[in-house]
Amino acid sequence: MELPFAENYKIKMVENIRRSTRAERERWIREARYNLFNLRSDQVFVDLLTDSGTGAMSDRQWSAMMLGDESYAGASSYYKLKEAISDITGFPYFLPTHQGRAAENVLFSTLIKAGQVVPGNAHFDTTKGHIEFRKATAIDCTIDEASDTTLDHPFKGNVDLNKLQHVFDTHPLEQIPFIIVTITCNTSGGQPVSLENMRQVRQLANRYGVRVIFDAARFAENAYFIKLREPGYADRSIREIVHEMFSLADAMTMSSKKDGIVNMGGFIGLREEELFRQASVYNIMFEGYITYGGMSGRDMNALAVGLYEATEFDYLETRISQVAYLGRKLHEAGIPVQYPFGGHAIFVDALKFLPLVPREQFVAQTLALELYVEGGVRGVEIGTIMADRDPVTRLNRYPSLELVRLAIPRRTYTNNHMDYVAASLINVWQRRNEIRTGYRIVNEAPILRHFTVELDRV
Ligand SMILES: *Cc1c(COP(=O)(O)O)cnc(C)c1O
């Protein structure tokens, strides 16, 4: 008998979670103004809101925390992290920040001016927010295949080179500070970018003398997909692939809460000393001195260990197999999920799931709320609410996809929890034809509105 797959860890510490009743959940979600971010975590049974900072640290990470050096300047923890980053990514310079968006804030303050455009592959919401906050425009150049959730394509995160070329053909060069490539592409479904595509983007950027920046939150998951799917990489180690990926970028922003497997932290990796100097000024202003930048020494130590653990094949296989386990369960029940499955999450196609709910009534949000009431499972809307209004016309922007993302925290839940999640969603699926109306906005912020939006039933 062939031995089955099993997790590459055992559990040393547990945290109790509590089931609730449907009546409780109906009350709680009403009190939360139908915004899942407003729920208390103890009102949630299986929390798939995000895989950001919600993972379980290893015993080695916890022990590294005890060795944290909390010196203001020049802490040993800073040097440990610097060594780990240069070893894994190849970037000789780095700036710690308190999380990924802070890295964006610091680097974009250095690079982006009003009126510019930043092409890339489905910019993440905070990335787009930080571009638009500077009165610049994010231009999505993702391949069209990404918006067909049923199409089997190994690298749906890829940049469409014709679309990218078009940006260069229609804008003066001074207007394009850099290209940003998000690996894996969160917004289009946790889909990877191939090394071939990264190389082509690099070549195009070289032709115009423009920088390439990686939004690298899930770089290790991206490398795992390259190893499995890209011809010529099956025998290369994850770390070799990671090296090759980063060799094609001039700088990176990182949310360490993802593939750093820590609860808080981020950084910027840089190749140019001059850019490092310029960014250091903003880092000191916004984050903290350049050897801690919003992170405590113990957190930098845990991150240094986490970066090594995240780039081990066995870890990645365990993680991504669990995501696929949930994906297969839903797929087998006939539920429209994005295919192939992403690295960190399963994305449910809400337009196909709830075809009777009008687009103006926030279809994906409606589905996410139904799932919560059904089983106490918290996912998140990646759709019209998250897309924000157009900064110029102030009209709602309707993205090509309305998705409910079920993001799986790293090393946190068992496959029994995945079975529970699948059963909850299947129950909603079976009564989908009774769901005909959605929600309307009562209150919203001008930017990144999904975090605080207040809704009511239509
Ligand atoms: C999470 C994330 C960010 C922002 O990082 P935070 O740590 O949440 O501030 C940026 N880009 C991508 C692709 C992300 O997934």
Which tokens go with 434?
A: 């009774």
Which ligand 1 atom sits nearest the alpha carbon of residue 266? 7
CA-based Rg of the chain, rounded to a whole angstrom? 21
Which residue from 162, 211, 161, 222 is spatially nearest to 188, judged by alpha carbons?
222
Residue 86: which pLDDT band, with cuts at 50, 70 and 90?
very high
> Is the minimum distance from the CB of 217 to ligand 1 under 6 angstroms?
yes
Tokens 């990796």 label which residue? 269
Q: How far is the CA of 215 from the centre of ligand 1 (A)?
A: 8
Q: How far is the CA of 375 from the centre of ligand 1 (A)?
A: 27
Which ligand 1 atom sits nearest the alpha carbon of residue 184? 13
Confidence (pTM) = 0.94
In the set 98, 257, 258, 329, the catalytic residue is 258
> Is the minimum distance from the CB of 130 to ligand 1 under 6 angstroms?
no
Q: What is the pLDDT of residue 401?
A: 85
Q: Whose CA is nearest to atom 11 of ligand 1?
A: 124
388 classed as catalytic: no
Q: Is the pLDDT of residue 54 over 90?
A: yes
Q: What is the pLDDT of residue 224?
A: 98
For residue range 342-367, list pLDDT tens digits in order: 999 999 999 999 999 999 999 999 99
The pairing of beta strand 380-382 with beta strand 377-378 = unpaired
Which tokens go with 284?
A: 């000191």
Q: What is the pLDDT of residue 94?
A: 98
Q: Whose CA is nearest to atom 14 of ligand 1?
A: 217
Q: How far is the CA of 274 from the centre of ligand 1 (A)?
A: 25
Domains of the chain as residue ranges with CATH: 22-51+313-457 (3.90.1150.10), 59-310 (3.40.640.10)
Tokens 């709830």 label which residue? 354
Residues of the chain with pLDDT > 90: what percent? 93
For residue range 205-231, list pLDDT tens digits in order: 999 999 999 999 999 999 999 999 999
Residue 402: which pLDDT band, with cuts at 50, 70 and 90?
very high
Residue 403: which pLDDT band, with cuts at 50, 70 and 90?
very high
Q: What is the pLDDT of residue 148?
A: 85
Question: Average pLDDT over the chain, rounded to whole?
Answer: 96
Do 349 and 356 meet the contact criterion of CB atoms below 8 Å apart? no
Query: Please, which residues have CB within 8 angstroms of residue 206's CB and are 6 or more apart in sequence?
Result: none
Give the HSE-up count for residue 390: Cα atoms under 13 Å, Cβ half-sphere.
9
Tell me how far apart the alpha carbons of residues 367 and 158 are, in angstroms, rounded to a whole number: 28
Element (H, E) at 118: strand 117-120
Q: How far is the CA of 103 from the centre of ligand 1 (A)?
A: 9
Q: How far is the CA of 254 from the centre of ligand 1 (A)?
A: 7
In the set 91, 94, 124, 233, the catalytic residue is 124
> Is the minimum distance from the CB of 99 to ligand 1 under 6 angstroms?
yes
398 classed as catalytic: no
Q: What is the pLDDT of residue 5?
A: 85
Q: What is the pLDDT of residue 150?
A: 85
Q: Is the pLDDT of residue 188 over 80?
A: no
> Is the minimum distance from the CB of 52 to ligand 1 under 6 angstroms?
yes
In the set 51, 125, 140, 299, the catalytic residue is 125
Q: How far is the CA of 409 from the centre of ligand 1 (A)?
A: 14
For residue range 110-163, list pLDDT tens digits in order: 999 999 999 999 899 899 999 999 999 999 999 999 888 889 999 999 999 999
Tell me how far apart the alpha carbons of residues 442 and 436 are, in angstroms, rounded to a whole number: 20
Other CB atoms within a 10 A radius of the CB of residue 326 amount to 24
Q: What is the pLDDT of residue 400?
A: 84
64-91 mean pLDDT? 98
Name the residue of 142, 215, 261, 299 whose CB sits within 8 Å of the most ligand 1 atoms, as the mutation to test its pocket. 215
In the set 51, 69, 140, 215, the catalytic residue is 215
Give the HSE-up count for residue 56: Cα atoms under 13 Å, Cβ half-sphere.
16
Residue 448: which pLDDT band, with cuts at 50, 70 and 90?
confident
For residue range 322-347, list pLDDT tens digits in order: 999 999 999 999 999 998 999 999 99
> Is the minimum distance from the CB of 257 to ligand 1 under 6 angstroms?
yes
Q: What is the pLDDT of residue 125?
A: 85
Residues in a beta bridge with 93: 270
376-390 mean pLDDT? 94
72 classed as catalytic: yes
Q: Whose CA is nearest to atom 8 of ligand 1?
A: 100
Which ligand 1 atom sits nearest the alpha carbon of residue 52? 1
For residue range 232-291, list pLDDT tens digits in order: 999 999 999 999 999 999 999 999 999 999 999 999 999 999 999 999 999 999 999 999
Q: Whose CA is nearest to atom 7 of ligand 1?
A: 100
124 classed as catalytic: yes
In the set 5, 72, 398, 451, the catalytic residue is 72
DSSP letter, residue 264: S
For residue range 415-440, list pLDDT tens digits in order: 999 999 999 999 999 999 999 999 99
Tell me how far apart the alpha carbons of residues 241 and 249 are, in angstroms, rounded to a whole number: 13
Residue 189: which pLDDT band, with cuts at 50, 70 and 90?
confident
- The b-or-e profile of 368-393 (16+ CB within 10 A means b, else e) is bbbbbbbbbbbbbbbbbbbbbeeeee
37 classed as catalytic: no
130 classed as catalytic: no
Q: What is the pLDDT of residue 116?
A: 98
DSSP letter, residue 211: E
Q: Is the pLDDT of residue 190 over 90?
A: no
DSSP string, 82-101: HHHHHHHH--SEEEEESSHH
Which ligand 1 atom sits nearest the alpha carbon of residue 187? 13
